């Protein structure tokens, strides 16, 4: 990893939030979408807005689907190139989470050019392009505006076979739950802003957030895998709850089995957290059952907004160990079985 560089002024100082912590709270998003036209009437639209899934899916032929998504946010780090890389990996994740393969991206750019030099903005774009090159796709165009805060992301198009689409709503009672990356990116970002994140912690955060979720493409080809979603701004509990709601089932999470970034527990116990964590809990906390006397820091880290987080996978329990082991071997060292799916009301139960 190259040494971190900072723009002048620093990128994070120009934004009121950063990464997926910028997302609107789940409760606010539900209000905004409450009276929007239903999309289910379009027969070729296999995945729309109904279950809060990761991307839209349109079936164009008997054996081909197009996946479309967009994602952008404000800086989570001060290094321009790292910001571009993280934002691009995060945007590509939605296609992987549906089981697809990205084929093309368009850049979304908003920059305060009265505060940032052209060279800094160019580094952001170069960072994003480098991740797209790693994914084997071009950045084929885009749109840019002069904005009061720096914003960067991608609109991404992917392809997939209809039988390989994996929604967040396919979890079945008896399934095991696998998480492919560690939790704690939001905690790290909060510590980074206050100068409390070590160099090793920064390197770990960038390595995790720029690790492409391409495992989703391979996972979707396994019939034992029933549902996939990526864990981003709503935290592990929020995205697990979307899976529970869509699947009409209870998701059980064993806290001791959840993988965390190395410094995240110590940092959250010391009070480092983003405002999004509290907003997340306020939005969906009534549908979460925590252990009696669980300390507040556990709730905080389970609702911690993840930027370019891992995949949450529901698969047949008989195949879970093999799937987790193969995923770990494919380059996801923190992949773990973290719980199970059971029949019941759509809630999350943490033990």
Query: Catalytic residue positions?
Result: 20
CB atoms within 10 A of CB 47: 23
Long-range CB contact pairs, 195-200, < 8 A, 24+: 196/267, 196/270, 196/272, 197/263, 197/267, 198/263, 200/262, 200/263
Sign of CA dihedral 162, 208, 191, 281: positive
Backbone φ and ψ of 319, nearest 5°: -105, 0
Sign of CA dihedral 248, 250, 255, 257: negative
Token look-up 């510590």 returns: 191
What is residue 56's three-state secondary structure?
Answer: strand
Q: Which residues pair with 58 in a beta bridge?
A: 45, 66
Q: Which two tokens stand for residue 204?
A: 């770990």
Backbone φ and ψ of 267, nearest 5°: -70, -45
Token look-up 């899976």 returns: 243
Residue 194 CA to residue 242 CA, distance in Å, equals: 32
**Where is 312: in which H helix or E strand?**
strand 311-315
- Specify whether the CB–CB gap between 100 and 158 falls below 8 A: yes
The dihedral region occupied by 184, where left means phi > 0, alpha psi between -120 and 50, and beta the remainder, is left
Calculate the alpha carbon distances from 210 to 43, 91, 229, 307 in Å.
36, 11, 17, 10
């Amino acid at each position: 990893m190259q040494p971190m560089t900072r723009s002048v002024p620093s990128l994070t100082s120009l934004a009121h939030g950063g990464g997926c912590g910028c997302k609107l709270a789940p409760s606010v998003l539900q209000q905004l979408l409450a009276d929007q036209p239903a999309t289910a009437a379009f027969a070729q639209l296999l995945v729309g807005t109904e279950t809060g899934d990761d991307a839209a899916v349109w079936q164009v032929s008997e054996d081909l689907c197009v996946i479309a998504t967009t994602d952008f946010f404000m800086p989570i780090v001060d290094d321009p190139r790292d910001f571009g890389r993280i934002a691009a990996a995060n945007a590509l994740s939605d296609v992987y989470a549906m089981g697809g393969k990205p084929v093309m991206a368009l850049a979304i750019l908003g920059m305060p050019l009265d505060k940032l030099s052209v060279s800094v903005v160019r580094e952001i774009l170069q960072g994003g392009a480098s991740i797209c090159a790693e994914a084997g796709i071009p950045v084929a165009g885009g749109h840019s505006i002069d904005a009061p805060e720096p914003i960067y992301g991608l609109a991404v198009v992917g392809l997939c076979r209809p039988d390989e689409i994996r929604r967040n709503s396919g979890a079945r009672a008896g399934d095991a739950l696998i998480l492919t990356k560690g939790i704690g990116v939001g905690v790290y970002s909060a510590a980074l802003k206050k100068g409390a994140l070590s160099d090793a912690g920064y390197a770990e955060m960038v390595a995790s957030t720029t690790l492409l979720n391409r495992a989703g493409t391979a996972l979707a080809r396994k019939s034992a895998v029933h549902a996939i979603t990526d864990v981003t701004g709503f935290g592990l509990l929020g995205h697990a709850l979307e899976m529970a709601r869509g699947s009409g089932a209870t998701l059980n999470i064993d806290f001791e089995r959840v993988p965390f970034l190395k410094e995240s527990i110590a940092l959250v116990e010391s009070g480092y957290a983003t405002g999004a964590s509290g907003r997340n809990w306020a939005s969906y906390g009534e549908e979460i059952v925590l252990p009696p006397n669980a300390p507040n820091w556990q709730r905080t880290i389970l609702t911690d907004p993840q930027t370019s987080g891992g995949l949450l996978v529901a698969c047949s329990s008989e195949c879970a160990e093999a799937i987790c082991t193969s995923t770990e071997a494919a380059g996801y060292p923190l992949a773990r079985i973290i719980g199970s799916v059971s029949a019941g009301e759509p809630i999350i139960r943490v033990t």
